[in-house]
Structure 1
């Protein structure tokens, strides 16, 4: 093999290693709350208790965030102008990947970020 063959081999190994490291290494993002409406997307940290007013075509949907030290942060829809109030009945969410939607009012609330290790995706019985 010639010198340039070794150079190309080294470049190939380096690129493969960097790609594998980027794909396999865990991201260090903290969970966050994303509220999506027709007006845009808002991102909030899950470290503060707050009430978020999400505007929609029917009115304002109230999203509650309860951040108590030592307990999981809970997020839920407390009030909505929609007719059936299914978004309120969806209950509270607390883990990455969970969501609540008020489809008539075009409001979508989800917790995004890196899932915690060892957490269950789903259970059945």
Structure 2
């Protein structure tokens, strides 16, 4: 059996080469990712619903409207976030995404890292419902 060569580029068609004919598959439409989006979207839809947020605010309770995605390297966090962003941009539920590349922060000096984090979190606060 021949090895399968996979070339993946986020948001671009991917080519899967192996014993079968070359097949193009949109990365954001892979079955595992569509299943993950289906599992996550109901919870996120509640977080993004202004009516739910107003009930929290009326009760004087801070609204937990953000989502932090974490996990081991290579687990699909970035792919899931891209896919969720696309899902909500195509739906009736408006969502804003703040992207944070922690590798850039880790490589920066301390002051630059603190400035970058302040900007990113300020952007996130501006996006809350």
Specify the TM-score bucket, using the shorter chain as the normaliser: under 0.3
Larger radius of gyration: 1
TM-score (norm 2): 0.20
Between structures 1 and 2, the one with greater helix share: 2
More strand by share: 1
The structure showing larger relative contact order (alpha-carbon pairs under 8 Å, at least 6 residues apart) is 1
